[in-house]
Structure 1
Amino acid sequence: MGGWLCLSTPVLAQETAQPADLETVREELVAAKLAVQEAREVAEQIVLDARQQADRIASRAASPDSPEELLPVEIQRGKVAVEVAAGTVQEIATAIMPINWRIMVDVKDTALLQRRFQYVSTKSRDQALRDLLTPIGLKHQYFFDLRDEQGVSRPLLVISQR
């Protein structure tokens, strides 16, 4: 007899449920499914972005970036992987150049100095600099042999107006 009550209880619950209640539950279920799907998509994008950043960090760590290790031709022809969402000319040039390079931007136009650019390149360092600077009327010059007071190599990239 106890088994009979257990079997009939769900049937009674379904019979007493109102269509409006069922519709509300159905809408909540659909909304919950959409929220879960959106959360999955956001999580997948976060993982993808993290992997891309890790790959960029690993590629920079794997390649010699020290000026003492690279010859001038290697610096100019070296491939870069640069992605800057909104950066000034100096910020983008800093991302393009090896670590320990100084960047000097000798431009009188303050609006150009403060202007932000979206920039992506996987070309050689020299081509990436030309692609950045030529359209806005700027040029660049490398100074490979500069040293500080202690004799440590301190190469310089100068960006100036044409």
Structure 2
Amino acid sequence: MIKTRLLYFSLVGMLLSFAVLRSIDGELQKGKSEYGIVGFELSHDSDTANAIVGYWTENDKLGQAFFSLGFDYLFILFYVAFLALWTSLMAGKFYSAIWRNIAYAIILLFILAGLLDAVENYSLMKFLNNADGGYWLIIAFYCASIKFGLIGLGALYNLGVLIGQKTIRV
């Protein structure tokens, strides 16, 4: 019962914080749709990142970019909690220990994705603060790429389990 309440709380928190981040991202992208925060996260070369930062600076949006990266830490907490709780609740329905253990491994992947997201944000903030070296971009790019892959893998697993539980008992 407590897990279910926490699941709903984390879902609401995730959706509200996502709405805030989307609103900020919409402001960052005004005039150039590729210059949003995700484009910045995945810009692994200095030319692209500098073009995005230059656009934000010219349009007085650098503060919004910093706020978005900082606020994203709250979103990370909510989405990791939601995905982990969702997986945990489904794992409790498994009859097989193997499937439960796979679910717990997926939970660890979600936690790893959250940690990678935090490192990614830190790296992007360092780059925005004119930190020396484009290696911050490379760190952010690989963290973002792996994070998106882990979340996608875990979400596919959860959707597969959801569908599978409707048709077979595992």
- Pick the TM interval, shorter chain: under 0.3
Q: TM-score, normalised by structure 1?
A: 0.28
| Higher radius of gyration, 1 or 2 | 1
Q: Which has the higher strand share?
A: 1
